[in-house]
């Protein structure tokens, strides 16, 4: 039966996912079969397992860091907010239904969740040596504690010691750790085995008196102070990560200004992480029309509610401005929900996206397509061949997660040819000039050759020279190793092994890398 350790945080966005990713890689390097686990996850960034199940994007990457194929049991409950006070609930990879936010206070919901979580945890424990569990938010939210199925209830189920993580970059980290301990009930407090302070900058010696005080007040050791890491960053889970991203990547030299429309219900924005990491890109997440000025390209990302985001675009002047930019020759790209928004019409005859009220709305009209929403959800992995003028024949891979079905009107050309269930299926659409295109394919920019081909097409429009693909920057395995190396150096791994009842590394292993750079890890 597997050993387990759990990473919880004093709040959201303290770096739990990063540390779980690093520990998965470290334990795998040390010769253990290790799997990630997040019992309950609220995220609009998701990925698809080999058997077509939907899980949180972070768990997919954590499994890759562990050198294994992700399964639905690594994130048995995924909750995706879809507006109007409702969320779609994914249970062990499949759509279970929509629930009101208030349902979380229902005892039946609690029992159901714990039953599903227990089943998935048992399956993983029977197949692996170590389970690295990630919590959500904070375990000390006293108004939610009784219904919290992501933190301490899971730690008790798994009999896992808990390492509490605090983000020292934002300030108040020492107080957050001590305050969390004070708010936890005695039974939960006993689960806390130590602390990790994350995202540290500066002279560590200045921090030592504070660390000593925390250990004295709580009776728990500090097991590591991890510096702020710029070399690698796993996929984010929620929109908190977008705060302050507008105007990032300010670098000297020629930079392409890529403007991403920050939709109200933006989802799977991690599709653009690989683009943002490119040396000639300045990525801007824009919330108002004026920020689109001087855009070299506009990207409309995924949406959990395309109908509501269509209204957002219309009511805030984006429709008119994006049409104007397109008429000037500025390329516009739509991914999934963004692809749907680029079409002529959005039809929701059964009110699946509009709160039960049938609607038919005008889209941006930049692609000759129409989308109709149905209750059935498409979730699948695919490979594809590019049919776009700048990347004809270029291979990409990714996954589809969408509710609507889009048809191309007569004369409209597809953007890709998918290999799907042994068949060739057209996907997406491209305008007559080839500058504006859309696709259902999440991860379309992850392949470095396709990504560079599109960026070079933008560079040519500006009269700039083309850049080559730098494959050394696109090896995911190497970046996982780099992350693991940094974290291993800062954590007291001997004490962590002791906490979970293991003597230490079994045998040092070298894990494989994806030499083609698919799915650039940033």
**Cβ 74 vs Cβ 59: under 8 Å:** yes
**Given the structure tokens 């004809």, which residue do they identify?**
392
**491-517 residues labelled b (16+ CB within 10 A) or e (exposed):** bebeebbebbebeeeeeeeeeeeeeeb
Residue 513 CA: distances (Å) to CA of 368, 476, 479, 519: 40, 6, 9, 12
**Cβ 167 vs Cβ 14: under 8 Å:** yes
Length of the chain: 522
**Cβ 46 vs Cβ 56: under 8 Å:** yes
Nearest to 522 by CA among 166, 248, 261, 324: 248
Q: Which of 73, 265, 402, 442 is catalytic?
A: 442
Q: Which of 336, 402, 431, 513 is catalytic?
A: 336
Cα–Cα distance for residue pair 273/522, rounded to 1 Å: 6
The answer for 267, left when phi > 0, alpha when psi is -120 to 50, beta otherwise, is: beta
Between helices 16-29 and 57-65, what is the axis angle to 10°? 20
Q: Is residue 336 annotated as part of the catalytic site, yes or no?
A: yes
Contacts of 138 (CB under 8 A, 6+ apart): 8, 9, 10, 11, 12, 151, 180
**Given the structure tokens 């999934």, which residue do they identify?**
336
| Token pair belonging to 95 | 């759509």
Distance of CA 429 to the CA centre of its chain: 25
Instruction: Please calculate the CA angle 499-164-151 and round it to the nearest 5 degrees.
Output: 95
Cα–Cα distance for residue pair 47/236, rounded to 1 Å: 12
Q: What residues are annotated to the active site?
A: 336, 442
């Amino acid at each position: 039966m597997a050993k387990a350790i759990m990473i919880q945080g004093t709040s959201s966005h303290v770096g739990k996912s990063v540390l779980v990713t690093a520990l998965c890689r470290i334990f795998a390097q040390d010769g253990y079969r290790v799997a990630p686990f997040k019992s309950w996850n609220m995220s609009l960034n998701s990925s698809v397992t080999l058997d077509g199940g939907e899980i949180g994007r972070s768990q997919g990457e954590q499994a890759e860091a562990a050198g294994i194929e992700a399964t639905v049991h690594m994130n048995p409950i995924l909750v995706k907010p879809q507006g109007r006070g409702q969320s779609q609930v994914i249970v062990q990879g499949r759509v279970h239904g929509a629930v009101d936010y208030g349902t979380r206070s229902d005892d039946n919901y609690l029992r159901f969740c714990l039953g599903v979580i227990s089943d998935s945890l048992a399956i993983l424990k029977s197949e692996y040596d170590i389970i690295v569990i990630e919590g959500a938010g904070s375990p000390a939210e006293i108004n939610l504690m009784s219904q919290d199925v992501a933190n301490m209830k899971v730690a008790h189920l798994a009999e896992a010691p808990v390492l509490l993580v605090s983000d020292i970059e934002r300030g108040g980290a020492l107080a957050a750790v001590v305050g969390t301990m004070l708010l936890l009930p005695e039974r939960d407090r006993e689960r806390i085995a130590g602390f990790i302070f994350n995202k540290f900058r500066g002279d560590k010696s200045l921090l030592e008196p504070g660390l000593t005080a925390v250990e004295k007040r709580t009776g728990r050791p500090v097991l590591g102070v991890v510096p702020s890491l710029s070399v690698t960053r796993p996929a984010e889970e929620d929109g908190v990560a977008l705060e302050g991203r507008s105007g990032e990547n300010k670098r000297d030299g020629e930079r392409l200004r890529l403007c991403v429309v920050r939709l109200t219900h933006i989802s799977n924005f991690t599709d653009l992480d690989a683009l943002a990491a490119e040396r000639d890109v300045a990525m801007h997440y824009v919330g108002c029309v004026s920020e689109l000025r001087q855009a070299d390209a506009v990207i409309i990302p995924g949406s959990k509610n395309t109908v509501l985001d269509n209204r957002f675009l219309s009511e805030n002047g984006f429709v008119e401005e994006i049409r104007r930019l397109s008429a000037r020759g500025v390329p516009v790209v739509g991914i999934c929900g963004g692809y749907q928004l680029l079409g002529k019409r959005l039809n929701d005859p059964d009110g699946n996206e509009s709160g039960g009220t049938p609607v038919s709305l005008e889209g941006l009209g930049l692609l000759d397509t129409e989308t109709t929403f149905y209750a059935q959800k498409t979730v699948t992995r695919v490979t594809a061949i590019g049919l776009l003028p700048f990347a004809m024949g270029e291979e990409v891979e990714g996954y589809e997660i969408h509710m609507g079905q889009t048809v191309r009107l007569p004369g409209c050309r597809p953007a890709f040819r998918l290999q799907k269930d042994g068949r060739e299926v057209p996907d997406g659409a491209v305008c007559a000039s080839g500058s504006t295109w859309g696709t259902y394919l999440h991860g379309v920019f992850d392949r470095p050759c396709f990504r560079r081909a599109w960026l070079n097409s933008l560079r040519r429009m500006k009269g700039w020279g083309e850049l080559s693909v730098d494959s050394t920057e696109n090896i995911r395995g190497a970046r996982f190793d780099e992350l693991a190396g940094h974290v291993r150096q800062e954590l007291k791994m001997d004490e962590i092994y002791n906490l979970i009842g293991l003597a230490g590394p079994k045998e040092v292993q070298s894990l494989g890398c994806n030499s083609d750079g698919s799915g650039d890890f940033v």
